[in-house]
């Protein structure tokens, strides 16, 4: 009887060691996941900061080019084979959706849209309402006429340019 009990204990002991190793590996796995997530977030944050800096630089450059074309180039197109071209475009006044939920509720109440929102039609109706009555529907903002800069990439056979 003792031999049977020892074998059972031996098997049980091996199983407990295997479970212990599995639990230790699970703990290591969880710690590694946390470490990798923190590393990913730190790297991602660095890249996001670089991207944000490039976006700000691009906005500044575009504004400088827009002002130069308006003031120094009499609004004419400027272009270079290797750098592309830039010109000004006069944007018409128009409504723009700033709060989709509020605008959608208004449009549904007015019967302008179905469950699948046709924003273009509802937006133009809201814009017409603003022009006629001076009342802007909820969720819309009126964008006055303004000049925008249009930048076109150079046309080149070499994709590296």
CA distance 149 to 145: 13
Picking from 15, 43, 76, the residue at the C-terminal end of a domain is 76
Does the pLDDT of residue 3 top 60, yes or no?
A: no
* Domain residue limits at 70: 1-76
Question: How many domains does the chain divide into?
Answer: 2
pLDDT tens digits, 80-139 = 988 999 999 998 888 888 888 888 888 788 777 665 456 777 777 788 888 888 888 888
Q: What is the 3-state secondary structure of 84-151?
A: EEEEEEEECCEEEECCHHHHHHHHHHCCCCCCCCCHHHHHHHHHHHHHHHCCCCCCEEEECCEEEEEE
**76, 105, 131 - which closes a domain:** 76
CB 98 within 8 A of CB 139: yes
| pLDDT single digits (tens) 67-84 | 999 999 988 999 998 899
Which of 46-60, 92-106, 134-148 is modeled with the greatest confidence?
46-60
Residue 57 resides in a domain: yes
Model pLDDT for residues 7-44, shown as the tens digit of each residue = 555 566 677 888 888 889 999 999 999 999 999 999 99
* Same domain assignment for residues 67 and 87: no
Q: Are residues 1 and 72 in the same domain?
A: yes
pLDDT reading at 57 higher than 60: yes
């Amino acid at each position: 009887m003792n031999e049977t009990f020892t074998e059972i204990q031996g098997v049980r002991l091996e199983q407990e060691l295997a479970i212990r190793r599995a639990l230790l590996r699970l703990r290591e796995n969880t710690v590694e996941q946390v470490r990798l997530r923190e590393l990913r977030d730190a790297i991602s944050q660095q890249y996001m900061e670089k991207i944000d800096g490039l976006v700000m630089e691009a906005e500044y450059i575009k504004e400088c080019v827009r002002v130069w074309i308006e003031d120094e180039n009499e609004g004419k197109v400027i272009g270079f084979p290797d750098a592309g071209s830039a010109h000004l475009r006069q944007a018409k006044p128009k409504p723009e959706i700033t709060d989709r939920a509020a605008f959608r509720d208004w449009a549904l109440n007015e019967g302008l849209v179905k469950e699948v929102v046709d924003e273009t039609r509802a937006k133009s109706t809201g814009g017409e309402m603003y022009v006629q009555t001076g009342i802007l529907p909820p969720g819309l903002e009126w964008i006055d006429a303004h000049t925008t800069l249009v930048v076109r990439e150079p046309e080149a056979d070499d994709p590296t340019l």
